[in-house]
Amino acid sequence: MRALIQRSKQASVTIDGEVTAAISHGLVVLLGVEAEDTAEDAEWLVGKIAQMRIFGDAEGKMNLSVKEVGGEVLVVSQFTLHASTKKGNRPSFIRAARPEVAVPLYEGFLSSLGKELPVKCGVFGADMQVALTNDGPVTIWMDSKAKE
């Protein structure tokens, strides 16, 4: 499972011209599910995201988590995080999980993260427009298989 995490001042998801989810200060998490992912991958990511200290403290040092600063999280499913660009010019998405595998893992991720933090989300499989003001900018890449 891969996540691209962005610290944001504000963010929203628009579908068919209507804003369907929006947060103020917090994190935007673009989440890609791979065919081999399990609930353990989701739980590992939830733990890391909920506790990641990437918000400034009184001295401006990245020392506080999204929970400690009263932030929210906007999660957007994004299978393209598993793009392979090794051959040719058109990405292959063969490693991305099919919906029958991805949807339960995505929903489990949302449920687990929602126990820790206020969470809003996009719509799985929808054509979405995501808007955000990246704060910093701070952008962190995580992969549950690499665990770095």
- pLDDT tens-digit series, residues 108-121: 999 999 999 999 99
Tens-place pLDDT, residues 90-137: 999 988 999 999 999 999 999 999 999 999 999 999 999 999 999 999
Residue 79 predicted with pLDDT over 90: yes
- Domain locations in the chain as residue ranges: 2-143
Of 105, 125, 139, the residue nearest 8 (C-alpha): 139
Residue 47 predicted with pLDDT over 90: yes
Paired sense of beta strands 119-121 and 72-77, if any: parallel
- 46 C-beta neighbours (distance < 10 Å), count: 22
| Between residues 71 and 145, the one the model is more confident about | 71
- 140 C-beta neighbours (distance < 10 Å), count: 15
Arithmetic mean of pLDDT, 57-73: 96
Residue 144 predicted with pLDDT over 80: yes
Is 2-143 a CATH 3.40.30.10 domain?
Answer: no
Considering just the CA atoms, what is the radius of gyration of the chain in Å? 15
Tens-place pLDDT, residues 35-44: 999 999 999 9
Residue 148 predicted with pLDDT over 80: no
Arithmetic mean of pLDDT, 55-84: 95
Task: Kindly list the catalytic residues.
Answer: 80
